[in-house]
A and B are shown apart, each in its own frame.
Chain A
Amino acid sequence: GESVGLHLPTLSVQEGDNSIINCAYSNSASDYFIWYKQESGKGPQFIIDIRSNMDKRQGQRVTVLLNKTVKHLSLQIAATQPGDSAVYFCAEAPSGSARQLTFGSGTQLTVLP
């Protein structure tokens, strides 16, 4: 079946550097995308979302880029901090009446001191 997948299962970055987490999706019917951060023992925490009529959206220290041509999504974290260490998931929702999310497999981000 169609699914959302991640290119890299783990990512280590130096504190202060920028991080880029990538995600590929295969469902062309998806038109809403979300990035979540999950820390150990906690539920997924909403970071940022983007609709398919946009290519880029910025939040506080985070930017999401959407390339519908190649079905690719990325999350950029500026000036990565130790508190950013977590598993990051992208999720997609198809257009239609229900907004159930399909999650990618996740990327473990580790911030090195």
Chain B
Amino acid sequence: DSGVTQTPKHLITATGQRVTLRCSPRSGDLSVYWYQQSLDQGLQFLIQYYNGEERAKGNILERFSAQQFPDLHSELNLSSLELGDSALYFCASSVGDRDDQPQHFGDGTRLSIL
């Protein structure tokens, strides 16, 4: 158990809809990262937050947004969903944002768009 909790485990919805994925980092970790894992693109970095502030953006679509709350949990919001958004979405956390500490991953949310 990595200590990173993601909910829900599975999500099935339709095109055009909006969903929110939730992540609770490991106790003591201030950084939260979101990744997307799809069959054709592999694991790709989306966005990072550190202590409530956005730190880095990767291949995140404009239809997607995230935030980190004062209690350090994070949410990833996906809107105007398309079939191609079907993927596994992982959250990871680490202690800081600049130090060489490994990121620990949750077990992901599997998003299926019908």
Contact = CB atoms under 8 A, between A and B. Distances in A.
B97 interface: yes
Nearest to A100: B45
Interface stretch (B14-22, B67-75, B105-113): B105-113
Interface stretch (A15-23, A60-68, A77-85, A102-110): A102-110
B62 interface: no
Contacts, number: 68
A42 B37 CA distance: 12
Interface in B1-46: 2, 4, 6, 31, 33, 35, 42-45
Contacts of A101: 33, 35, 43, 45, 103
B56 A43 contact: no
Given A43-B4, A103-B43, A97 B105 contact: no
B103 A43 contact: no
A101 B92 CA distance: 11
A113 to B, nearest CB: 27
Interface string A33-76: 01010000111111001010000000000000000000000000
A49 B94 CA distance: 14
Contacts of B33: 100-101
13 contacts: A41-B107, A43-B6, A44-B90, A46-B103, A49-B100, A49-B102, A97-B97, A99-B100, A100-B48, A102-B45, A103-B35, A103-B42, A103-B43
B7 to A, nearest CB: 13
Taking residues whose C-beta sits less than 8 angstroms from the other chain, chain B's interface range is 20 to 34
A89 B43 contact: yes
Given A49-B102, A101-B33, A103-B35, 8 more contacts: A36-B105, A43-B105, A44-B92, A45-B105, A46-B105, A96-B98, A104-B42, A106-B42
B104 A97 contact: no
A99 to B, nearest CB: 7
Contacts of B97: 97-99
B108 A43 contact: yes
A94 to B, nearest CB: 10
Contacts of A32: 100
A4 to B, nearest CB: 9
